[in-house]
Amino acid sequence: MQRIACGIVVAAMLVVLWFGVAVAAVERPNALDRRVDALTTAALMTEPARALVDPDRQAAATRRVHWTLLGWFLTSLFEAAALLYLWSSGNAATLRNALRRRVRSEWGVRFLFGAALALVARVAALLPAFYLYRVDRILQLTTDLTRVWALWWVYHTVVGMIVAGVIAAVVLWLAERTHQWYAYTILAILAASVGWAYASPYIESPRAAVPLARAGLPNVAVYVSGTDSALGDATVLGAGPSRRVVLSPGFVAGATEPEIAYRVAYELGRLVHGDRLSIALIEGGVIIVFAAIAIVVADRVRFRRDDDPLSRLAIVGALFALVYLAAVPVRNAALGAYVFDADRYAVALTGDPAAAVRSLVRASDQRMEEVCPEPAATLFLYTAPGTGARVSAINRVPSGCNY
């Protein structure tokens, strides 16, 4: 009990630290903002996106893609290698036996074993994760100090351990009691995906109002969040009369009022079209399909003498880390159409396509994203189509992208 209490205290401290960390945003407006502000309406409506963005920034975006892809692949490969070694060396079975000697509850053993697997995977991927942080730090896309990044890493590690422990305990408990365990697991994954899609925006709390409300829909207020959020430029909170759009302060500081109107309308478009639910179901479905592939492949691997369903979770985790490399392109391809639909809705609602183009160009410059993403970036890094294609759909000018 004392160890459990200590664990709860540590988790609570991490949560407090997470909420208390102030992420310093790059000062806005900046030179990039002033350059985008100077673009004329005629240029925005007659030029392709690649002619509107900053060329130096685009060159840096290409370098960033190459560096990020390396770290992204190494993350999955390191995780898979660590978990595979844990199983093949017999250490997974040793860990299982050690837990069973110390923990009476089989539920507790399964939870702790799942949490341990998550910890192994996170530690194995620590170097690639730090490398990716340094890439963004060098390119000045983040102002987080190393200690702040480390706190975030610890926080996400703890959360990942808890989630992995619960999944291991629940799935093995279901498999022990019914042959239809997979059906219940599928329903649980879909429910969790939908629940997270609707619950995650509440991480951010609005503190100050922006003088822009409704934007074509009744009872929709607009707020600026108290701190910059990992949620991005904007999100929608609440439902019905309490519905509100929350914007990040960095976005509001750099954008013009018509751009803010476009961004609000874009978020409302996603709400009207039910994108949040659809995307959650797609992501849940991708998880289900590729997790099933990992389980089927794991079943084809011969059992060791000291194997049981619990210890073999290590090889399932290793295979899932590998099939994740194939799952991400499927998810990214499925999400592209929703972005175009929201763009069309926002332009129709605001009646200002130039503001939409300006907003997209500004975002590409600030975030250092490729206007014409190379195929690997489209497959693995970007969940939205390239700015070149989005701007082309708005101003009807050929994107000029070669791929």
Q: Find residue 246's DSSP bridge partners.
A: 223, 235
Determine the Cα–Cα distance for residues 377 and 302; give it in Å rounded to an integer.
37
Q: Has residue 7 been placed in a domain?
A: no
Q: 278 pLDDT band (50/70/90 cuts)?
A: confident
Model confidence at 36, pLDDT cuts 50, 70, 90, reads very high
Res 6: pLDDT: 40
What pLDDT is attached to residue 213? 47
- Sheet containing 206-209: which strands, arranged edge to edge? 206-209, 221-225, 244-247, 234-237
Mean pLDDT computed over 315-344: 92
Domain count along the chain: 1
Task: List the structure tokens of 84.
Answer: 């595979």
**Which pLDDT score, from 0 to 100, does residue 13 have?**
33
pTM of the model as a whole: 0.81
User: What does the pLDDT read at residue 396?
Assistant: 94
212 falls within a domain:
no
Smallest CA-to-CA distance from 384 within 261, 281, 275, 299 is with 275
Total number of residues shown for the chain: 403
Q: What is the 3-class SS of 94-123, one letter each residue?
A: HHHHHHHHHCCCHHHHHHHHHHHHHHHHHH
Q: What percent of the chain has pLDDT over 90?
A: 52
What mean pLDDT is predicted for residues 173-189? 87
Domain enclosing residue 349, as ranges: 24-204+271-395
- In this predicted structure, what is the pLDDT of residue 309? 87
Average pLDDT over residues 194-198: 80
Which pLDDT score, from 0 to 100, does residue 217 have? 46
- Report residue 111 CA to chain centroid gap: 25
For range 272-301, the mean pLDDT: 87
Which tokens hold the place of 12? 């609570």
More confident residue, 94 or 299: 94
Task: Provide the pLDDT confidence category of residue 241 given band limits of 50, 70 and 90.
Answer: low
**Can the peptide bond before residue 309 be classed as cis, meaning omega within 30 degrees of 0?**
no
8 part of a folded domain: no
- The two tokens of residue 297 are 């492949």
Min mean pLDDT across 10-24, 176-190, 196-210 is at 10-24
Q: What percentage of the chain reaches a pLDDT higher than 70?
A: 85
Phi, psi of 237 (to 5 degrees): -115, 150
Domain membership of residue 353 (yes or no) is: yes
346: tokens are 């926002």
Asked if the structure places residue 265 within a domain, the reply is no
Q: Is the pLDDT of residue 229 over 60?
A: no
DSSP for 265-318, written as a single string: HHHHHHHHTTHHHHHHHHHHHHHHHHHHHHHHHHHTSPPPTT--TTTTHHHHHH
Residue 218, in any domain of the structure: no
**Per the domain annotation, does 262 fall within a domain?**
no
Predicted confidence at residue 10, as pLDDT, reads 34
Q: What tokens appear for 282 in the block? A: 């797609």
In-domain check, residue 301 = yes
pLDDT at residue 359 tops 70: yes
User: Across residues 182-205, what is the average pLDDT?
Assistant: 78
Rounded Cα gap, residues 327 and 161, in angstroms:
22
Please state, rounded to an integer, the average pLDDT across all residues of the chain.
Answer: 84
**Cα angle for residues 232, 78, 115 (degrees, 5° grid):** 75
Structure tokens at 301: 């691997």
Q: Between helices 313-350 and 387-395, what is the axis angle to 10°?
A: 20
**Residues 129-159: tens digit of each pLDDT:** 999 999 999 988 888 899 999 999 999 999 9
Mean pLDDT of the region 226-242: 64
